[in-house]
Structure 1
Amino acid sequence: MFRSALKLLSASALALGIATSIHAFETKAKAAFVIDHTTGTVLMAKNADDALPPASMSKLMTLYMAFEAVRDGRLSMTEKLPVSQHAMNYGGSTMFLDTTDRVSVEDLLRGIIVLSGNDACAVIAETLSPDGTEAGFARLMTRRARQMGMTNSTFANSNGWPAPGHRMSMRDLALLANHLITDFPEFYPMFSETEFAFDGRAPKNTQNRNPLLKLDIGADGLKTGHTVEAGYGLVGSAKQENRRVIFAFSGLDTVQERAEISEQIVNWAFRQFSETTLIRQGERLAEADVWMGKIPRVGLVPAEDVEVLLPVLSRGKVEGEVIYNGPIEAPIAQGQRLAELVLSPEGLPKMRIPLVAETDVPEGGFGVRLRAASSVLMSQFGLLVEEAS
């Protein structure tokens, strides 16, 4: 494995020349995770992989599976579903459904997103469950979560009602939020709706509990949560210009703390970090040795512009290292992935950027092969001589 160290400076940081480093965001939340969706940069992680009671934030998994079912044709938005006694019996946040109701999928989805309806989740769960039970759907949720990379999530029900073993991590919740935003752009605007007066039967439960939606800071989702065991939490996202931030936190003591800290996270993430084009597409960063090629080395370049997120008040210094296994045997095609650039922005996690071949490198002719064979033979002969001595 070959390594080539280099130092990179962003143009904006060079122009500023500021030498003050960023201070990490501190929160009273028991666990938190903040990621810049645009660049994939983790901005904060506090107990982010701890499996904790997620309360109603786990409803996002039920929503994801419902969206999948609509997309795949297993549900339609206009289809009306029956309400079981089990679904009706749920307390907490509900749509006040009863067994005489048949409710459209669209109303149920809004009932989950805006009203946090435990009963609405159970109706969806029993409809999509392999065995017709909410418990069966919960097992399906767990398997689907594993497939999506949520390794610290286990579900016992569809809505986050306190239950032994019902757990999610903040990193998993942020990953799930990312999937909802990316995989279902046609449904995501529902998360920014602030009111849903279903059938006029629940006048005290018509408002979305997300405290960020009315603040004009770009917030457009996703879900609050609260139980005595979990405390107050929120999975949120906000977009300003071309940047989107996703975050999840849990374990606060009051609804007021939840509102304050969620706003602080959004403001901190957008004000304290800025996106910079560090390296342009096709810019040669290093060369890799070539084996049996028409030329002895090939340039290593990024296939696209390298965008990085840097603290606004940092020195702007980014250390980088090019790593590849070589020499690389010809033929090599232009654009073929050959190496990796590991960037270490000050105060942020490492980033790994693929590097590709700058040009084609065809196989060498007879002379090249002869010289290569001679080199191998001479090397082997030298080893034999060394061993004999």
Structure 2
Amino acid sequence: MTTGRLAYMPEPGSVELREYELPTPEPGSLLIETVAAGICGSDLHMFADKHPLKSIVLGHEVIGRVVDPATRPTDSAGRELHPGDLVSVVYFAFCQHCRQCARGLTHLCENAYNHWIASPDEFPHFTGTFGTHYYVGRFQHLFKVPDNVDPLAAVSANCALAQVSAGVDRGGVTAGDTVVIQGAGGLGLWGVAVAKERGAHVIVVDAVQRRLDAAKAFGADEVVSFDEAPEPGDRIARVRELTDGGADVGLELTGVGSAVLEGVEMVRPGATYVEIGNVMPGVEIGLDIGSLTRRSVTIHPVIRYHQRFLKGALDFISRNVGRLPFDQLVDATYPLDDVLQAMEDSKARKVNRAALTMGPDAR
């Protein structure tokens, strides 16, 4: 094969399937064959013109197959790569020279997306994961997928799971804590699993019953449905009742601005509230700052993650194979030719989490 295909968004709401010559990787870089590419909420926001990125090769969640590791013989943990190995890639890059990288805050790199927003007409073409191939730059970290891990179980490890793991870590969740999670989509299910492994008591709030059912399957101790608690005050009261006055840690994983107003009232005085879901600029809410101050609630916005969280995410999946229902994470797969249908079904919430599959390794 000398050419590959990719899904390019020249402007929000439009997708073009394009074909390009496969690039020859530079030293330190790697060209992988895409096995599965997850459709994340951020991809849907880009498509709906609700994201700063307006023109892009779509996709950032990926499991790929190593073809020729000559230009990058080891993964970021120093393990030797071989043809056929499956890898997961940190979807953003670290430039190594901006102020944040110099301070060791590589997850806040000021140039993290430079490689992603390049035109597909320019080398290396395959800068997004919605394609037959993906080009891993020399400043992107990647890790081998454990042998016992299904590609679809790990397809969102480099975004949802690693991101939520960083958020749970930032929230300082420990054994015995009560954690309220707003949202039972892909982020929420991973949040439940990670918080439960830390020994927390987990409550999940969502409007869709099948998502709440999935949250229970992943270990949620209690769920709060919009059907049973239709108003914000009802949901706040229910969470406070279940937590004896408020949760120790709150995680916002819905991407809905108004959820923050509810969430900060669901936690106890002195609690920590971790904001992950709302990443789109321009969403404004009216917080009662006086209430936050008097209750000493700390809000931690969390964007991206240190690369160690991706390796930890893959290890997490590996040790929980057979214990957690990973087959419920991705409930619909589509070929690359049906990328528009996959986006529309995801937007309409006809599926919980969709993925594009392009190889025999993906079920």
Pick the structure with more strand per residue: 1
The normalised TM-score by structure 1 is: 0.24
The normalised TM-score by structure 2 is: 0.25
Structure exhibiting the larger radius of gyration computed from Cα positions:
1
